[in-house]
Amino acid sequence: MDQYNWATIPREEMNEKTVRQVVHTERMTIARILLRAGAVVGMHHHENEQVTMLKSGALKFVFGGSEEGREVIVRAGDVLQIPPNLPHMVEALEDSMATDLFSPRREDWLRGDDAYLRSPAR
């Protein structure tokens, strides 16, 4: 059993509007992400199921693929489940703090394949 505290987990400045903290377990990745107003995470997809829990702020998700053009606004207290391989993008409508759960764990992040998060915010 492992215990973590967000205060001790390194903060990664992904770009000027996005900060990430990450815990990788054997089967999951847990990420705490700060998205400042106007931050955009470009369209992407991953093999992982994703659950986003919004602690504060408001995020607009836009889904592609079979859900093309569908928009969902997530506000503080909301939980959003995104199935594996569903293309999506995110825009922060205001300063927002989210906790994202991924299963299985994000092997792409462990390899450093996270350029879509590191691109300059719009």
Buried b (16+ CB within 10 A) or exposed e, 51-79: ebbbeebbbebbbeeebeeeeeebeeeee
| Total-model pTM | 0.91
Question: Is the pLDDT assigned to residue 44 strictly greater than 60?
Answer: yes
pLDDT-based confidence at residue 118 (cuts at 50, 70, 90) = confident
**For 19-44, what is the mean pLDDT?**
97
Question: 17-106: which CATH topology?
Answer: Jelly Rolls (2.60.120)
Spans of all domains in the chain: 17-106
Question: Is the pLDDT assigned to residue 121 strictly greater than 60?
Answer: no
What distance lies between CA 120 and its chain's CA centroid? 16
Determine phi and psi for 6, rounding to 5 degrees.
-55, -30
Express each pLDDT in 66-111 by its tens digit: 556 799 999 999 999 999 999 999 999 999 999 999 999 999 999 9
The predicted structure's pLDDT at residue 35 = 97
